[in-house]
Structure 1
Amino acid sequence: MTILEVNNVKKVYTTRFGGNHVQALTDVSFSVEEGEYVAIMGESGSGKTTLLNILAALDKPTSGNVLLEGKSILTIKDKQLSSFRRGNLGFVFQDFNLLDTFTIQDNIFLPLVLSGKSYKEMRSRIAPLAQKLRITKILEKYPYEVSGGQKQRAAVARALITNPKLILADEPTGALDSRASDDLLKMFTTINDEGQTVLMVTHSTKAASHAKRVLFIKDGTVFHQIYKGSLTNEEMYQKISDALHVIATGGVEYE
């Protein structure tokens, strides 16, 4: 089942006084199947962040369409967008986006509180998640009292606790050391193996090598893609590195 469809998405920004136009996305089309784990890569300025913001309904394209389970997210009224995001999307950010005045548990509960869920339901949801992500012992601590890796696991728990249709991850390993990054990537693989659809934007070849498919964005369009298939993480790493080299050196598009 196709969960996400991106059809001919174009984004042009106009400068403050309307004198200049910056084309962030030219013509982006792709789809994501339910249960996929997709990474999006590209050089700085290639349009990755713009694309992610559009998929998250934080921005709207100049033209084109984005459908989640066959329904256009562009037709959602502004006053309903926050509710739509909480009900359908889970977010994992590079800088964690945890509130220092809330405990880890309260940070994880936040989207459920905003959705009006009962405390009993929140407790029943957090227990298995905390155990899976190995954060049970830190739930009563505050973000400034735990490590970067623990913060990011808490952020993953917050993203998952709403049972989202799609996880959107923006450079999730960017603020982590190598050990915490490896730990987080293994967790993403486990989460995906259990059926969660994941779409990750990353500069990290290592992070992307854990995905089942990698899309490369160049000059505002999808330049190439790689399917992992039976490749090991190491073999996928090499294929991604080769593709990035072609993009960086201005090589021709792959067959």
Structure 2
Amino acid sequence: MSLLQVRNLKKIYTTRFGGNQVQALCDVNFTVERGEYVAIMGESGSGKTTLLNILAALDKPTSGEVLLDGKSTAQIPDSQMSTYRRNNLGFVFQDFNLLDTFSLKDNILLPLVLSNKRYEDMIKLLVPIAERLHIAELLEKYPYEVSGGQKQRAAVARALITNPKLVLADEPTGALDSKATDSLLHVFESINREGQTILMVTHSTRAASHAGRVLFIRDGIVIHQLYKGTLSNEEMYQRISDTLTVLSTGGISRE
């Protein structure tokens, strides 16, 4: 069974004034296997952010369903939704979403604190992750004392600390310089090789080229996908670039 199943997903928003309806997602279907690294690409307004919010259980679809490990998110009561997200999903955001009044250590441990884990157990989980992400010496510093790349590594550590079934990344390289971007993408590749399933929404061809599969969304529909297979990052970059060029001219109909 696939880890993530998205079935016939539709999302319609009704504007506050005038009652006009806007269809953000039309009929989205795809699956993500355990251990996959999938990128979703699309122009602004294509529906990818709406899709990510629904996958993150931050929004509900108008119709269709999302199943994680065989369980529909529609079956989860609102009162249990925060716990569900904390236990099953890890989040990496473009703007890091770190609390400036917390040290990096406290930011990373926050999901475990909210789950009432014992401090000794939290530290046992923290140490290997911090060392792997090369931020062990920065744990007592505050977000405003470190670089953007170091903030994002802390955000990745926070996402991984709960051993989530799925990591959702929203434009994770968007606020980083080229050096920090390369570093973060290598981190993603590394944790994916260790079995972590990742789904990333990105505008960046460079970021998407590191994924094993790229889905292209347009007008609320997944219209095309590319598999990396044995391609190098450079070769995948070129294939994505060529696909985006065709899409920009209105080419490629829904598969």
Task: Tell me the alpha carbon deviations over residues 187-226 of structure 1, each in whole angstroms, 9 at most, x when there is no partner.
Answer: 0000000000000000000000000000000110011000
RMSD of aligned residue pairs (Cα, Å): 0.9
Q: Which residue number in structure 1 is paired with residue 20 of structure 2?
A: 20
- Structure 1 runs of 4+ aligned residues shifted over 2 Å read 252-255
Q: Which amino acid is the alignment partner of residue 210 of structure 1?
A: H
Q: Would the aligned equivalents of 2:103 and 2:139 in 1 still touch at CA under 8 Å?
A: yes
Mapping of residues 1-255 of structure 1, within 5 Å: 1-17=1-17, 19-253=19-253
CA distance in structure 1 between the partners assigned to 2:221 and 2:37 by the alignment: 20
Report the Cα offset of residue 18 of structure 1: 5.2
Task: Tell me the alpha carbon deviations over residues 115-151 of structure 1, each in whole angstroms, 9 at most, x when there is no partner.
Answer: 0000001000000000000000000000000000000
Q: Would the aligned equivalents of 2:223 and 2:252 in 1 still touch at CA under 8 Å?
A: no
Q: Which amino acid is the alignment partner of residue 34 of structure 1?
A: R
CA distance in structure 2 between the partners assigned to 1:95 and 1:254 by the alignment: 33
**Cα separation, partners in 2 of 1:18 and 1:63, compared to 1, 3 Å:** farther
CA distance in structure 2 between the partners assigned to 1:201 and 1:254 by the alignment: 19
Identity of aligned residues (%): 73
Task: Tell me the alpha carbon deviations over residues 21-77 of structure 1, each in whole angstroms, 9 at most, x when there is no partner.
Answer: 011000000000000000000011000000000000000000000000111011211
TM-score by length of 2: 0.99
Report the Cα offset of residue 252 of structure 1: 3.1
TM-score by length of 1: 0.99
- Give the secondary structure class of the aligned counterpart of 1:43: coil
CA distance in structure 2 between the partners assigned to 1:10 and 1:178 by the alignment: 36
CA distance in structure 2 between the partners assigned to 1:36 and 1:213 by the alignment: 8
CA distance in structure 1 between the partners assigned to 2:49 and 2:224 by the alignment: 18
Q: Which residues of structure 1 form unaligned runs of 5+? A: none
> For this pair of structures, how many residues does the alignment match?
255
CA distance in structure 2 between the partners assigned to 1:81 and 1:68 by the alignment: 13
CA distance in structure 1 between the partners assigned to 2:252 and 2:111 by the alignment: 45
Q: Would the aligned equivalents of 2:14 and 2:21 in 1 still touch at CA under 8 Å?
A: yes
Report the Cα offset of residue 239 of structure 1: 0.6
